[in-house]
Structure 1
């Protein structure tokens, strides 16, 4: 499947049916010029993007795609790639509530809980009967919604009761599967529904905007009230991720069609917890999410994206377009803990949701065996270390606690199932080097715990886990026990950056700092689908209404929910203004007032958290914002591609590239520049006043080896909407700079507001 991208449409923001037909016919005309007839063109076209995005997806041979690419009216032609999903207490941790109470300065009160914002979720669908999406107590659907009652859930094609699954909360549901089916074959008609059989979409949508739902637990842990960031917002589900097993695939052609519909339906926010795993330089113009987000932002829709789960290495961040809001993942101050006793003398903390091991007088402790020692003779040590299928010998495992190593994934539940199949009484999953000290609580099918082998420096991991030992000499004398899980809150320090969270700098355009922000993405409790198990494994018979999940998939909807609040509170603000408000009020400190650290106990940098950890209450009143419009993004595209020809298609009106444009001067809330050695760096920014009249004074935290000067160093505003431009001058302090990235910050403060931008050189 190829996507042929043609830019924007000339028919304006409110196309008629004739406009849509005309756009589709133009797509057929273009393709017919290559294939030889309209009939062949219609047969090949999978989607005609005819509303706000101009282009089409079609089944083409490589040489046919090459011919189309040479057409002067074509922006780009690219293969439709398969994306992956980037897969409670967090709102208390973010300050929206305190011990179950909501203060008057909470963003929830100020923004009426996101009332009547419309949040779209591009994901694996929704479980519509869940109480998180009940329409009880809601008024009429906002008039801005143009979804026309579309509710594609369960036999919607023929059922006269098709719309009963949607209501005044869940106001729409659509499916997009043509690209998935073209690759993997037709889905069962019963599965052609927006109903969620994976769980991911239900979890993310409820995190963004689920109703207040009291008395929520998972296996008796985490008791409290679940709710989304904008609990009174309306929601719409756009199902773009499908699965015939436990692994979902989300295809670009389907995603781009969903963007086109969501924009046309009148949504305010689009949440996309998915993306590719390998950033590449052409991604701005050959990436479905980047293209869809550009057209959404041009129509005043905020697009929030997950940064990816490919950390901790550098240049792993995805969804890096400057018009997208890219979210990293970090911890909250809650943990689910079992106490692990090793050999009766060492006690280690393990993250767990389990009820523990039987503790009767006759069976208090259990022998422990490492998976390497438990392997079949024909299994490799490497495969056995990670408890991969068909590596464990039940005769060695039965009745013991099995020790596995995490395979740097955001879930290890499959390892727990292998342990259970082999007859283990429990499983201990030890973090690999890439996971650091991050402990993930997971719904294993048997008692299980996630552990950091380096927590107790007095313990030799090789000895007590039997790594490389023999069943006779080591593991038989190693006995262990685990207690039932207990929920603790107020954990310090928090947040900590997750090891899996993808890092910057951006491999596409390093002058745009990515990710933009970090938000809770570890051990997140939210609604779940009853159409799948908590493990997503077909062999798991369990069904639960709430589940704990990890990933930037979980942090993304946290931000989408907060964006929904700001949309309600400040309906006239642009997507860039909302993004700026959140970024410039973020914190780089944890709850001990120290710099945020990562899972490896190192001080984190903006390449990990962007502008910092989100603070929604402060974001409602940022004082100043760094605003951007479509023209600014077009200038950015000019400087990125150096192609005037490319630009003529993006806008509904003609646009001419400036003779020179410096990407470093894009009015972004963060500041990133190239190190120019001994040469002085001079960039500009413009701030817009969104608060009361006042004077702001500049304060700089100087990056190592550099001095920061701001001209002018004070700005006086007399009215809302007033703009002021300033220069940031960076000079080498003394010796030639090392060439390694260095970090600082710029703050504007008037005594009531602090407007902070990270500086990266």
Structure 2
């Protein structure tokens, strides 16, 4: 196989208020469409009439921006405070929210995930053939080889999308791989943002790189010989390399790097209209109620149309209650590490050819010759040993290899800066920061050693004055242990809006992922030189979501009749929680075992997800019943469901989700869950329950065995959790206890596993 971010859009929250001033700004308006007079043939004509009928004593007239056909019942418009008051007085008006703005929120991954050309999910799913993935992001660089359509069949006839023209973009930029590209910027422009060639392309073309990277991660065509300046050499390929890509550009590199909620909503609305099968958003809004969150609103409408929606969980970890995009109809994805590492080797030599060799972390993007070069080490002088700021004499250090001892008073970045200031040829530094380095940190030739190897080198050099070293950069290895780990920045549960629903759902690769980049945009820095590349290593939950949406495309190709909930359930119940040392998945921040608030059900396992045995299914009505349980007003429920005559069959917060969450508060420590499992095997089967529960958590399951008929048959069960609160106190991560429920068939071929978690209320 041939085989390159860290962005997460955070946007300020909606405010619902009756404006009294005459500030002219964009608003999102929710309408009761059942009140549309019969004289209007379309909602659009009705909205145009309503907006034009609003009087204006002074200033600019009201103006329609977008009409939303799927994500909400309503439109967005430029309104003043007096316009808004008139609109709110109309009987058909439900709610209005001012537009919101914000700033921004990465291949060995196919093999790490077990995807193989000969067996498993890849060939079974025909590599995602003819599935259409909508990417809501910063645009796309269509010339990238990752979007080459060689060998792809004609575009599916069901596709209703288009390839729009704009600055340095036209219809010829689309092909059988990139089948659609649109951009949405009305809301941003109305705020006076300058979208031009100086800051961005006023078109679907990507200026920032984020959208190109995420799109190629999800569905990039195989590209041999890809690398990041000599690191990660191989074939770059997306999770679903035969899937189609449709880009919806909603995020812009203006002078303040912002996006408008009106534009995000318009992009999702258009993706539904165009006929995408799946949608990925590596961006998010603050943790506001679902009726205030445009991604939650758009994803609900998409789910209703059978469109799978994957979203990044956010980069606000490692603290509890930091999850974004936690609605139950969204698959929420956290970030984990890979088993691939990047390094430089240092071979130290002293008199008599006595040598020692160590391997240290490095991403330095150039191959420079360091052979038998002298090492400078200020032994005997603590200040010089640790290379603190301005501690060294450039006349002593220039042209040599600087060695810096570990110190909690001089961090690795200070030491690298000191090496640069004194014109050292390279630096070998000792640090405990290793896992947290990013490729962009290595602007100077540096080898970062861990504490143990640092002591070996220090001891080696202490005994002999004249030490020399050979350094080789651009080393990649694929057996890094332990892996995966939950990365420090990945947002953690519980989800503040609905803490009784465990989020994230799963984790997926999100650290140093190699994916497509733009050849005219900085990819690395070496000294004072800015380097460019077609592929780049980047990190973030932004990278995790496209991994999951790509795997979901493969599952949809294998099981075209599966619902959105079935796909998510298969991913969750087959996820694993052990690393490549056979120990528990670790939390990178603490170095100890993680828990479901960190990784949800676990790390995705695509091949197992193809054959989960049983699934927890959900219908749109289940989601409506869930919303009905949230103490929202009738109007707020109507905003989410887009129905004037919605029905709550029951007010049920305990929906048929593949995880179990008990929130501990006011001495409440017991909860009963009701679930229904569906057989997705081709034959009848019998499953029995196996519970793993820690001391202090008592779990009972009734019945203990489930006998399923043919494919599609269902069985219900009840799970009761009792938590002993004696001596328990909320800790920094808020977790109380956790265990697992597994349903295992007689042949032990299928293990349908769900986490059971107790956590303290915030």
* TM-score in terms of structure 1 length: 0.82
CA pair 416-628 structure 1, distance change in 2 beyond 3 A: farther
Shift of 1:642: 3.3
Q: Is the 8 A contact 1:364 1:481 kept in 2?
A: no
How many residues align structurally? Answer: 701
SS of residue paired to 1:174: strand
Q: What are the equivalent positions in structure 2 for 1:458-607 lying under 5 Å apart?
A: 482-535=471-524, 541-599=530-588, 600-607=590-597
Aligned match of 1:152: 165
Aligned match of 1:176: 184
Q: What are the equivalent positions in structure 2 for 1:48-447 lying under 5 Å apart?
A: 48-61=67-80, 65=84, 73-86=92-105, 88-97=107-116, 102-104=117-119, 106-147=120-161, 149-152=162-165, 154-155=167-168, 162-188=170-196, 191-244=201-254, 248-276=257-285, 279-280=286-287, 282-339=288-345, 347=358, 349-355=360-366, 358-361=369-372, 363=374, 373-374=389-390, 425-426=425-426, 437-442=435-440, 444-447=442-445
Shift of 1:575: 0.9
Shift of 1:117: 0.4
Shift of 1:342: 9.8
CA distance in 2, matches of 1:431, 1:140: 53
Q: Is the 8 A contact 2:322 2:491 kept in 1?
A: yes
CA distance in 2, matches of 1:54, 1:519: 34
CA distance in 2, matches of 1:726, 1:184: 56
Q: Is the 8 A contact 1:348 1:455 kept in 2?
A: no
CA distance in 1, matches of 2:173, 2:151: 16
SS of residue paired to 1:542: strand
Q: Is the 8 A contact 1:705 1:737 kept in 2?
A: no
CA distance in 2, matches of 1:71, 1:418: 66
SS of residue paired to 2:522: coil
Q: Deviations over 1:120-155 (max 9, x none)?
A: 1111111111111112211111122111x3243545
Q: Is the 8 A contact 1:413 1:442 kept in 2?
A: no
Q: Deviations over 1:184-234 (max 9, x none)?
A: 533226821211121111111111000111122222222211110000001
CA distance in 2, matches of 1:555, 1:644: 36
Which shows bigger deviation, 84-93 or 23-32?
A: 23-32
Residue of 596, 603, 614 corresponding to 1:624: 614
CA distance in 2, matches of 1:397, 1:640: 65
Shift of 1:75: 4.9
CA distance in 2, matches of 1:738, 1:362: 57
CA distance in 1, matches of 2:414, 2:27: 35
CA pair 670-484 structure 1, distance change in 2 beyond 3 A: same
Q: Deviations over 1:293-324 (max 9, x none)?
A: 11111111111111111211221121111111
Aligned match of 1:380: none
Q: What are the equivalent positions in structure 2 for 1:602-751 lying under 5 Å apart?
A: 602-651=592-641, 654-656=644-646, 658=648, 661-663=651-653, 665-675=654-664, 677=667, 680-691=670-681, 692-732=683-723, 741-750=736-745, 751=748
CA distance in 2, matches of 1:403, 1:362: 16
Q: Is the 8 A contact 1:498 1:522 kept in 2?
A: yes
Which shows bigger deviation, 702-711 or 185-194?
A: 185-194
Q: Is the 8 A contact 1:2 1:65 kept in 2?
A: no
CA distance in 2, matches of 1:752, 1:84: 46
Aligned match of 1:383: none
Shift of 1:613: 0.3
Q: Is the 8 A contact 2:389 2:414 kept in 1?
A: no
Aligned match of 1:469: none
SS of residue paired to 2:717: strand
CA distance in 1, matches of 2:105, 2:547: 14
CA RMSD of aligned residues (A): 4.0
CA distance in 1, matches of 2:701, 2:236: 45
CA pair 309-480 structure 1, distance change in 2 beyond 3 A: farther
CA distance in 2, matches of 1:83, 1:414: 32
Shift of 1:528: 1.2
Q: Is the 8 A contact 2:662 2:669 kept in 1?
A: no
SS of residue paired to 2:577: coil
Shift of 1:726: 1.1
CA distance in 2, matches of 1:314, 1:658: 32
CA distance in 2, matches of 1:124, 1:364: 46
Shift of 1:33: 6.2
CA pair 350-141 structure 1, distance change in 2 beyond 3 A: same
Is 1:23 the counterpart of 2:20 in the alignment? no
Q: Is the 8 A contact 2:195 2:252 kept in 1?
A: no
Q: Is the 8 A contact 2:220 2:241 kept in 1?
A: yes
Which shows bigger deviation, 717-726 or 45-54?
A: 45-54
Which shows bigger deviation, 511-520 or 178-187?
A: 178-187
SS of residue paired to 1:700: strand
CA distance in 2, matches of 1:393, 1:48: 66
Shift of 1:638: 1.4
CA pair 28-131 structure 1, distance change in 2 beyond 3 A: same
Shift of 1:38: 14
Q: Is the 8 A contact 1:440 1:450 kept in 2?
A: no
Q: Is the 8 A contact 2:586 2:594 kept in 1?
A: yes
Q: Is the 8 A contact 1:127 1:530 kept in 2?
A: no
SS of residue paired to 1:561: helix
Shift of 1:755: 0.7
Q: Deviations over 1:531-575 (max 9, x none)?
A: 311149998642211111111111111111101101111112111
SS of residue paired to 2:195: coil
Q: Which runs of 5+ in 2 are unaligned?
A: 1-24, 351-355, 379-383, 407-411
SS of residue paired to 1:231: coil
CA distance in 2, matches of 1:118, 1:678: 45
Aligned match of 1:6: 30
Q: Is the 8 A contact 2:443 2:526 kept in 1?
A: no
Shift of 1:526: 1.2
Q: Is the 8 A contact 1:8 1:52 kept in 2?
A: no
* TM-score in terms of structure 2 length: 0.82
